[in-house]
Structure 1
Amino acid sequence: MPVPRLTVVVTRRLPETVETRMKELFNVELRDPDAKMTRDELGAAMRRADVLVPCVTDQIDANLLAQAGEKLKLIANYGAGVDHIDVASARQRGILVSNTPGVVTDDTADMTLALILAVTRNIPQGLAEMQGGAWKGWSPMAHLGGRIGGRRLGILGMGRIGQAVARRAAAFGMQIHYHNRKRLRPEQEDVLGATYWESLDQMVSRMDIISINCPHTPSTFHLMNARRLKLMKPTAVIVNTSRGEVIDENALTRGLRAGELAGAGLDVFEHGHEVNPRLRELPNVVLLPHMGSATVEGRAEMGEKVIINIKTFADGHRPPDQVVPGML
């Protein structure tokens, strides 16, 4: 007798190739049109699904998990970060959580370097001038930025993405420094040419550029708070392609407005898509709409990992990318 197929509910539209493969393997409910589910819709989806496929826009807390009932057995997150899911509460209720690590490492690292260059070389200002038809021709003193070769880059979080950023930055001639929860092995430091700082305060005060590449956890919330931001040199810039909650956005905005920092490049924000309006007005800030991992290849590979996690679970085995509270 054939084993009944799992009911899989997907909360957002995914690449067509991923959705097609899901339809072949599971009883899948796809999201059409593509819009963020309301909390009530998300709760209802969790009650009728064997497997839920959410993404970063879906906040799945303990109260929502309490409404899930007995059917839901796996939350196969479409994305590497799981700070929007209460993994501990899910585990207590016998619900497994998986994610998609590793597949967007290079894409995010590329965007980090793009932001560093955009902020230090005034690329958005030049683009705006050209698009507005205001360019009057070349001038020796126009649009002067700064050379990144020789500058000190301080990487906060030296996991897969942090190391990928280090390799790219080294190719631009930057000096690589880092702070991490756990120091890398000596041979890893040698390959990356990276200097470890046990004290985040000391590293922050000496860097020309800070790159945020750590996940959002209770211990990293506002890790770059008002006090630490004030430690940065007034000529320094900060770039964030990780999670917005790591930086105190209001304090950052105040520092930029006061000239205490030279600039910022942000792909993520503390309150999701609700960006501080004062931050939007600053000429020394480059803002992007959370597009660090947005490549066709990366999105497809994320979907492939989701499918593998669900298929492995359906076959009675532990999902290869299962997340447990001790990993966070």
Structure 2
Amino acid sequence: MKSLLITRPLPDAVLEKARGAFQTTVRLNNMPMQSDELRDALRNFDLVLPSLGDAFDAQVFADVSAPRCKLLANFGVGYNHINVEAAAKANVLVSNTPGAVTDATADVAMTLILMSARRAGEGERLVRAGQWKGWHPTQMLGMHVSGKTVGIAGMGRIGQAIAQRCHYGFGMAVKYWNRSEKDLPFAAERLESLSALAAQVDVLVAAVPGGAETQHLFDAEIFGVMQSHAHFINISRGEVVKESALVAALQNNEIGGAGLDVYEFEPRVPDALRKLDNVTLLPHLGTAALEIRTQMGLMAVGNLLAYEQGETPPNLV
């Protein structure tokens, strides 16, 4: 029976499935693995089920010349914390869990769109602080979302799910920026540049993958061309946003507001951002539903089982 390290506690159903097939060790720590732990994982286990923040970078693989581990079955769709090229050179496969995260992440995007546009976070803070003086006709006027235009940056599975919700649920016109044209079941206009998209929409949603190609994609230039009433939403990866530029845009009221589920230096959120009323801040809740996290875990274990049985894991990256 092959040995398996699961780097974070996971739902019971996932652990039960893993323990039925592998000699399973669960790391009882919710923080990302540190330097020595990463190297020990490659040396001491046949298989590893890592998660966001477990930084298997090129140096880790360079320090472990002949890893015992043959598969990193990542828990999550994003895998930019794993250097796939370095893993391949070390004969380590990498898989992920696409599909399972799509609807849950799209739902959180809609939560952020509505909370930001309708100033829901600000309103809740007002009530909790005991400062609400009662209803009046001009109280906390926000932006009506229905019938507006949404811009999706990155029209993959999650981007399409967000666009679908916006179009069918709120009658929003859809524009998007993507490397290729998408055949969609609803009207959508593809724009050639991100700046053109940012300039034309009422809500701009970041749904791009993480990685070197998208780091600081959303910077002062993008926030500078957005309309003054427009809202920026990020449910992708924190590093796709130059956080200091977003803070400046919000402080100077250059944009209408923002809704964030991820952060550039997560879990650190700068004081300047936390002090602003025109931003909604969530603690990376994108897939935080028991059934979704269970599906993700079972998909990761499915990748491990396929490898164990001599088959190609269905979600190799």
Please give the range of the TM-score, normalised by the shorter of the 2 chains. over 0.9
Greater alpha carbon shift after TM alignment, 213-222 vs 312-321: 213-222
Relative to structure 1, the CA distance from residue 25 to residue 51 in structure 2 (aligned partners, 3 Å threshold; closer, same or farther) is: same
Q: Do structure 1's residue 241 and structure 2's residue 239 form an aligned pair?
A: no
Cα drift, residue 34 of structure 1? 3.6
Checking the alignment, whether the CA contact within 8 Å between 1:163 and 1:192 is kept in structure 2 is no
Structure 2 CA distance for aligned equivalents of residues 208 and 77 of structure 1: 35
Matches within 5 A, 1:80-229: 80-170=77-167, 171-185=169-183, 188=184, 191-229=185-223
Q: Secondary structure, in 3 states, of the residue corresponding to 1:176? A: strand
Quick one: which amino acid aligns to residue 50 of structure 2? P
Q: Do structure 1's residue 53 and structure 2's residue 42 form an aligned pair?
A: no
| Partner residue, 1:76 | 73
Quick one: which amino acid aligns to residue 55 of structure 1? S
Structure 2 CA distance for aligned equivalents of residues 256 and 309 of structure 1: 43
Structure 1 CA distance for aligned equivalents of residues 44 and 313 of structure 2: 21
Checking the alignment, whether the CA contact within 8 Å between 1:100 and 1:321 is kept in structure 2 is yes
Checking the alignment, whether the CA contact within 8 Å between 2:42 and 2:67 is kept in structure 1 is no
Q: Do structure 1's residue 295 and structure 2's residue 289 form an aligned pair?
A: yes
Cα drift, residue 33 of structure 1? 4.3
Q: Deviations over 1:76-114 (max 9, x none)?
A: 101110100000010111100000001010000011011
Q: Deviations over 1:245-292 (max 9, x none)?
A: 111111111111111111110001111211122111111000111111
Checking the alignment, whether the CA contact within 8 Å between 1:47 and 1:67 is kept in structure 2 is no
Percent sequence identity over aligned pairs: 40
Checking the alignment, whether the CA contact within 8 Å between 2:107 and 2:162 is kept in structure 1 is yes
Structure 1: segments with no counterpart, 5+ residues: 324-328
Q: TM-score, normalised to structure 1's length?
A: 0.93
Q: Do structure 1's residue 252 and structure 2's residue 246 form an aligned pair?
A: yes
| Partner residue, 2:19 | 23
| Partner residue, 1:63 | 59
Structure 2 CA distance for aligned equivalents of residues 167 and 312 of structure 1: 33
Structure 1 CA distance for aligned equivalents of residues 206 and 294 of structure 2: 25
Moved beyond 6 Å, runs of 4+: none
Greater alpha carbon shift after TM alignment, 55-64 vs 129-138: 129-138
Quick one: which amino acid aligns to residue 154 of structure 1? G
| Partner residue, 1:270 | 264
Q: Deviations over 1:177-203 (max 9, x none)?
A: 100011113xx2xx2221111122211
Q: TM-score, normalised to structure 2's length?
A: 0.96
Q: Do structure 1's residue 11 and structure 2's residue 7 form an aligned pair?
A: yes
Equivalent residue pairs, number: 315
Cα drift, residue 217 of structure 1? 2.5
Greater alpha carbon shift after TM alignment, 138-147 vs 102-111: 138-147
Relative to structure 1, the CA distance from residue 23 to residue 158 in structure 2 (aligned partners, 3 Å threshold; closer, same or farther) is: same
Q: Secondary structure, in 3 states, of the residue corresponding to 1:137? A: coil
Q: How big is the alpha-carbon RMSD for the aligned residues of Structure 1 and Structure 2?
A: 1.2
Structure 1 CA distance for aligned equivalents of residues 140 and 279 of structure 2: 15
